C-alpha cells in the first residue's frame, strides 16, 4: 500500500496521495487532473511519448555526456542511440499510421535531433560545472510535502561570488513567447532553486534557460536563445509559488472525483478513455 503523507489544515489531518510535488506533476495536475491521477497516484506509465519528447530527452542525454567530459561526437552518438532505442509502441506518431509513415517519422526525428544538438554543440555555452543532472527531493519550510527537481547543470555563478546558477536546456520547434517572464519558466525555476539550495548549501542566484531550435531559421538568425531569471528580482514569485503548492496540495487532499480534460492536446483522449471505461474506478481521495 502506498504511503500517504498527512498534512494539517484548520486542525484536521488530511492524507496526501503523493510523496512530493515536481514541476511536471504540478503542471500535469493543473492541465488534466485525471491523467495526473493515473500517472502520479496510481503510477501507471502507459501513455505513449511524443516525437518531440524523445528528441528533447536525446538532447539532454547528449549534453549530460558532453558536460561530464565526453567528446562531442561521443555525446551526439549517445543521444542518437537513445532515439533509436525507443520502440514504435512507445511513441505517439499521430497521423503516421502505416509502417512507411512511421519510418519516415523516425527518420525526421533523427534528423531533427542531429540538427538541434549540432546547433548547440557548434558553440556550446561555457560554464564552470559543479553538477550534471542534479536530482533532489527536499523539504521546504512552509510547504506541506517535499518537492523534487532535476537540474541539467549547476554551475558557478558569474554574477555573484560564492553563489551558483542553474542551467536548463530545451529543444523546441519555436522559441517561447514571453521569455524569462513566462510563468512555466518561473515555476520550474523555483522547484530547481529549492532543491539546489539544499543540496549545495550555497546561494542560488539565477536560472538560465537555453532554447535550441530544431528547425533552421531561414533568415540565418541564431538557433539558440538564452533566458535568465535572477531570483533576487522575483521575491513576489516565491510567495505565489508557496501559495500554489499549498493550494494544490489542499485540493488533492480533499475527497473528490477526478474528471478528464478532453481538450488537453497531450493527454485529452487518453484521460477521456480512462473516464469512459472506468479504468481508474477509485478516483477518490479520503
Q: What is the per-residue DSSP string for 50-63? A: PHHHHHHHHHHHHH
pLDDT score for 283: 44
* Rounded Cα distance, 156 and 177, in Å: 28
pLDDT score for 255: 83
Query: Residue 145: exposed, middle, or buried by beta-carbon count in 10 A (0-12, 13-18, 19+)?
Result: buried
pLDDT score for 88: 93
pLDDT score for 47: 82
Q: Which domains does the chain have, with CATH numbers?
A: 5-47+255-277 (no CATH), 51-122 (no CATH), 129-245 (3.90.320.10)
- pLDDT below 70 — which residues of the chain? 1-13, 179-181, 259-286
pLDDT score for 125: 94
How does DSSP classify residue 166? E
Beta bridge partners of 219: none
pLDDT score for 15: 87
Question: Which cell numbers hold the place of 88?
Answer: 514504435
Element (H, E) at 205: strand 204-213
Nearest to 273 by CA among 96, 34, 97, 42: 34
pLDDT score for 14: 72
pLDDT score for 251: 94
Classify strands 147-156 and 21-22 as parallel, antiparallel or unpaired.
Answer: parallel
Nearest to 129 by CA among 169, 186, 83: 169
Nearest to 20 by CA among 147, 136, 188: 147
Amino acid at each position: 500500500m502506498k504511503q500517504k503523507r498527512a498534512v494539517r489544515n484548520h486542525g484536521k489531518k488530511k492524507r496526501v496521495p503523493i510523496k512530493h510535488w515536481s514541476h511536471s506533476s504540478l503542471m500535469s495536475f493543473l492541465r488534466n487532473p485525471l491523467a495526473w491521477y493515473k500517472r502520479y497516484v496510481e503510477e501507471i506509465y502507459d501513455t505513449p511519448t511524443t516525437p518531440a519528447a524523445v528528441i528533447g530527452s536525446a538532447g539532454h542525454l547528449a549534453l549530460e555526456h558532453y558536460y561530464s567530459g565526453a567528446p562531442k561526437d561521443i555525446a551526439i552518438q549517445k543521444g542518437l542511440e537513445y532515439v533509436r532505442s525507443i520502440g514504435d509502441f512507445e511513441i505517439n506518431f499521430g497521423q503516421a499510421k502505416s509502417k512507411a509513415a512511421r519510418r519516415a517519422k523516425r527518420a525526421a526525428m533523427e534528423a531533427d535531433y542531429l540538427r538541434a544538438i549540432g546547433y548547440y554543440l557548434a558553440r556550446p555555452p561555457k560554464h564552470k560545472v559543479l553538477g550534471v543532472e542534479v536530482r533532489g527531493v527536499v523539504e521546504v519550510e512552509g510547504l506541506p510535502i517535499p518537492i523534487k527537481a532535476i537540474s541539467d547543470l549547476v554551475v558557478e555563478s558569474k554574477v555573484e561570488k560564492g553563489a551558483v546558477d542553474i542551467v536548463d536546456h530545451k529543444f523546441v520547434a519555436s522559441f517561447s513567447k514571453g521569455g524569462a517572464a513566462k510563468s512555466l519558466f518561473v515555476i520550474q525555476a523555483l522547484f530547481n532553486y529549492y532543491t539546489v539550495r539544499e543540496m549545495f548549501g550555497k546561494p542560488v542566484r539565477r536560472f538560465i534557460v537555453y532554447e535550441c531550435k530544431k528547425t533552421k531559421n531561414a533568415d540565418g538568425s541564431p538557433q539558440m536563445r538564452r533566458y535568465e531569471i535572477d531570483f533576487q528580482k522575483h521575491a513576489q514569485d516565491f510567495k505565489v509559488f508557496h501559495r500554489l503548492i499549498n493550494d494544490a496540495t489542499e485540493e488533492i487532499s480533499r475527497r473528490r472525483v477526478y474528471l478528464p480534460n478532453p481538450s488537453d492536446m497531450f493527454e485529452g483522449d487518453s484521460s477521456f478513455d480512462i473516464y469512459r471505461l472506468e479504468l481508474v474506478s477509485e478516483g477518490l481521495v479520503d
